[in-house]
Amino acid sequence: MTQTHSLFSEFPPVSTQEWMEKINADLKGADFNKKLVWHTNEGFDVQPFYRKEDLEGLRTHAEIPGKFPFVRGTKQTNQWRIRQKIHVCKQCSDSAHAKILSMIENGITAIDISFDTNAVSIETLTKLLNHVDLTKIELHLDTCVMSAVTLVNLLVDYVKDQQIDPKKVYGTINFDPIGHRLIEGKKVDHLIDRYIALLTASEYLPKFRTIAINPVHLSNAGAYIYQELGYALAWGNDVLANLVEKGFNAEKTGKKMAFNFGISSNYFMEIAKFRAARFLWSNIVFAYGEKCPNHCKNNEPDGLERCASKMMIHAETSKWNMTIYDSYVNMLRTQTEAMSAVIGGVNSLTVLPFDISYKQPDDFSERIARNQQLLLKEESHFDKVTDPGAGSYYIENLTQAIADQAWALFLDVEEKGGFMAQLEAGTVQQTVNETNKNRRKAIATRREILLGSNQYPNFNEAMNEKIDESLTDGCQQQPEILTLDMQRGAAQFEALRLATEKSGKRPVVFMLTIGNVAMRLARAQFSSNFFGCAGYQIIDNLGFTTINEGIESAKKHQADIVVLCSSDDEYEQYAPEAQSLLGSSALLVIAGAPANMEALKNQGITEFIHIRSNVLETLQHFHQLMHIG
């Protein structure tokens, strides 16, 4: 007989107090809260470690997947729909149809079709859906607000004409007048009446959802995670409450609602967000008298139909953190974002192509975006495990913390009249815009990193000729109310580099490395990355034996800026000497913030760059000195 031993029995248990004593000993008197506790933008602190005891009292991990309150998912499997977008104009329906068939053949299971207004017709719809099995492929439609009802009616006519079982047609229409109000400031009259018209038009298609809640706009405007979720709940509740007031049944109406979220690059917190979203929304709908928790069944294909309190979640990777420069890094961003969404249990997912921030995506970028999801499903088997984050002390605590913060925001909005009232007052936009401003400041000071934009840029990359100018907003009507600031996080750094490209003058930055080997190399690397963010030409060096040797080399390279890279104590000698030899032939910059900075400034040495510099503002200053822009 073989004898087994438990590894845990070989070691005595370690208490939290013992862990803390060991940590504090290693900190050698440093403040635990300052050194190790993460003070998040979401309004709560994250501890450096969690233990089983931290699960006590949490309300988010009691049930299994598919059971109220749906923290662990609205279904018992982790299947999700792979969704991709296509734009259709009146003249391009033939090519669009071919593209749709190709996308389906290559793995998508949900097609998102955006129609130009003049393309909304039964002829176009019939052509696009030819050979598309609507009982297997989810259909998501988008068009202008005024044509939405027409498009749904056309779909109903098509389903009847093709004799398709209407109970097997799944999908949504992205009727988004509130989103237009947020982004463009445009008002849509008789809003609730339009929702009612869509509900009425889609009655023949019981699984087709016609009420879109789009917090993705807030995410793309840079909102914090708790803000996106809190406002999403208030938005959905406002629409639901108005329809109930008009006599619609909350349970029936809830089954017609779909939420479209963004996904930021905050990996674990995004996983927790989707878990918290289902938890909170289920409780909101339950408060309207929805009966699902008492008799919910899960034998439907996506586990959503019988229960209005099951939040249908579509997720889309972020636009806010996408970059123009070093755009292949966008693939890494979207891949981790996609992982967050899938682990978090979304119903469908769109991965945006890596080049969407500066041009119309091409076949290559769309194929890569599609394959990113296929890799997660077919090779990494993310569809085989439901809610893998369950039981994780960290993720469970994040879920509860985000739920608490989002719920507090939801209650605040409700107390002040609801989401629409706060939107009309501009409060929602002001709050998110302030967040956008704060996050861009964090990027400017490198407290938030966008690889390739504000840190480690590709020095020699040029993008000006690759940007599709037709994608810019162009002239817009004056908005009626305050709108969301949709400026991406990298936009201001990109403006610097584009200004350099367009100026036809690329300043030469020469690294005069001398003295202490470790310090000069570290500061040369720092300075190269610093000025590379503005698209300047960088000339690095291993080191010079004298200042005179370095200045002579700089002059031979026709340097516009000479960065002195050495140690703090050596600057006292080297900086004045470099200034004297350089004269007016180039601008001298000191890498670092030496203790004798003020003394050097009194000698006419005024330019310093260091880790506490606001990189954006400093580079804008150098642009002025170099007469760029």
Domain residue spans of the chain: 81-374+389-424, 435-629
CA 143 to mean position of chain CA atoms: 24
CATH of domain 435-629: 3.40.50.280
CA 599 to mean position of chain CA atoms: 45
User: Would the pLDDT of 307 be above 50?
Assistant: yes
Q: Smallest Cα–Cα separation from 560: which of 580, 586, 590?
A: 586
User: Would the pLDDT of 146 be above 70?
Assistant: yes
Order of strands across the sheet that contains 138-142: 208-209, 171-173, 138-142, 110-115, 81-88, 348-350, 313-317, 257-263, 211-213
What's the mean pLDDT when you consider all of the chain?
A: 94
User: 3-state SS string over 116-168?
Assistant: CHHHCCHHHHHHHHCCCCCCCCEEEEECCHHHHHHHHHHHHHHHHHCCCCHHH
Task: Read off the pLDDT of residues 161-188 as tens digits, 9 standing for 90 and up.
Answer: 999 999 999 999 999 999 999 999 988 8
A 10 A CB-CB count for 477 gives 8
Provide φ and ψ at 319, rounded to 5°: -95, -25
Tokens representing 597 are: 């900075």
* C-alpha distances in Å from residue 85, one per residue of 109, 120, 158, 180: 12, 17, 21, 19
* C-alpha distances in Å from residue 554, one per residue of 53, 283, 447, 470, 588: 62, 68, 32, 42, 11
Using a pLDDT cut of 70, give the percent of the chain over it: 95
Provide φ and ψ at 484, rounded to 5°: -70, 140
What is the pLDDT, as a whole number, of residue 469? 83
What is the pLDDT, as a whole number, of residue 80? 97
CB 290 within 8 A of CB 233: no
A 10 A CB-CB count for 298 gives 17
What is the pLDDT, as a whole number, of residue 4? 59
What is the pLDDT, as a whole number, of residue 62? 67
What is the pLDDT, as a whole number, of residue 317? 98
The structure's pTM equals 0.94
CATH of domain 81-374+389-424: 3.20.20.240
Rounded Cα–Cα distance for residues 225 and 216 (Å): 11
Mean pLDDT computed over 470-489: 78
Using a pLDDT cut of 90, give the percent of the chain over it: 89
Q: Provide CB contacts within 8 A for 171, sequence distance 6+.
A: 110, 138, 139, 140, 141, 207, 208, 209
What is the pLDDT, as a whole number, of residue 220? 98
What is the pLDDT, as a whole number, of residue 300? 47
Mean pLDDT computed over 500-519: 96
- Judge if 81-374+389-424 and 435-629 fold alike in CATH terms: no
Tokens representing 109 are: 């299971």
Provide φ and ψ at 622, rounded to 5°: -70, -35
CB 513 within 8 A of CB 544: yes
What is the pLDDT, as a whole number, of residue 363? 95
Q: Provide CB contacts within 8 A for 130, sequence distance 6+.
A: 97
Q: Which residue has the higher pLDDT, 60 or 448?
A: 448
What is the pLDDT, as a whole number, of residue 266? 97
Mean pLDDT computed over 9-35: 92
